[in-house]
Amino acid sequence: MMLRQVALWALVAWAVLAFVPVRGQDQPQAADAAIAGVTQTHQRQDGNRIVAGTGTFPNVQMREVALGQAATWLVGVPQGDGAQWYAALADGRVLVIGDEGPEALAIQLAPGQPFAVVAREDGTSEIVFTDGVQESALTSVTLLDNGTRLTITPAGEIVSDGMPGRITLPVAAPPDARIALSASGLAATYTQTSSDRYAHGILGDTLEGTHLLVLDADSLNVVADVALPPNDVFEGLMPLWADVDGDGAADLVTMVSNADVGTRLRIYRADGSVLAESAPIGRGFRWRHALAFA
């Protein structure tokens, strides 16, 4: 297939803030309204940074809100013609910011602990986070339909916290890795961190994953484990799921980098086989990244 058919949108932002409406911090219950979407600071659980609708950034209303201290995480949700924001502060307190200004929620996170927001079809929403799991302060929470949370620890472990219990899988994931979830219940992330294959440190560290790991999200059983050649790394925080070839099954869009020839786009099937790839850009240490598929 021709890779120019893949539309990759470059979004320039330090953090991508995403959208959904809001309730509280309850554990998701089976009797709750169906989940319409789950939002993290990285936009969508499948890793694809697509936003519905249109608009222009010059035509926005600017607001300044005093939080009292730095926010470590922000998630925004639409509310009518406006927006509502959740801010996790450095001390773990959580503020919700609406038209009336900031209001403290009865939630105490660990300092730096990430969270997600669940939007339900009845218009309510809630904050979701893990309880009793030491998470990396650079990752995010992935939520399964049954309420199970997937996350990554500072030691590079994948933790499944929920149904039927807690499962820990040591995989040497980078501390800023995210877990991308497909609609069919597969989880994918980068693992087996290397600090010397591609030591660029452009965005603050030299840690890159060298394996693409695909798991059954419920059991954490391994579906595929793709190891790159010794000089290659996976760039980015996570792969993104998208049906690239139109066969009805989600594929994994990745960026593979090499210090000699630079970055190439490579698309894998869920079983780890290569579907397509581009030529490398020809020079190492030059930035190219796949942020969205449409």
**pLDDT per position as a tens digit, 158-205:** 999 987 789 999 999 999 999 999 999 999 999 998 877 776 655 556
Q: What is the pLDDT of residue 123?
A: 63
Stretch among 29-43, 188-202, 251-265 having the lowest mean pLDDT: 29-43
Q: Is the pLDDT of residue 251 over 70?
A: yes
pLDDT, mean of residues 113-129: 78
The closest of 94, 90, 103, 48 to 75, measured between CA atoms, is: 94
Q: What is the pLDDT of residue 50?
A: 80
Q: In this predicted model, which residue has the larger pLDDT, 53 or 96?
A: 96
Q: What is the pLDDT of residue 180?
A: 96
Q: How confident is the model at residue 56 (pLDDT cuts 50, 70, 90)?
A: confident
Q: Is the pLDDT of residue 23 over 50?
A: no
Q: What is the pLDDT of residue 225?
A: 98
Sign of torsion, CA 101 105 109 113? negative
pLDDT, mean of residues 36-59: 76
Rg (CA), the chain: 19
Q: Is the pLDDT of residue 37 over 50?
A: yes
Assigned token pair, 166: 């807690």
The closest of 259, 201, 194, 250 to 227, measured between CA atoms, is: 194
Q: How confident is the model at residue 260 (pLDDT cuts 50, 70, 90)?
A: confident
Please tell me the pTM assigned to this model: 0.83
Q: Is the pLDDT of residue 26 over 60?
A: no
Q: Where are the beta strands (DSSP E) in the chain?
A: 35-39, 71-79, 82-89, 93-98, 101-108, 116-120, 125-128, 142-143, 149-152, 157-161, 166-170, 180-181, 186-194, 208-216, 222-227, 232-242, 251-258, 262-268, 274-277
What Cα–Cα distance (Å) separates residue 53 from each residue in 56, 83, 236, 254, 293? Answer: 11, 15, 26, 26, 16
Q: What is the pLDDT of residue 17?
A: 28
Q: Is the pLDDT of residue 294 over 50?
A: yes
Degrees, nearest 5: CA angle 171-179-14 = 115
Strand, coil or helix: what is 268?
strand
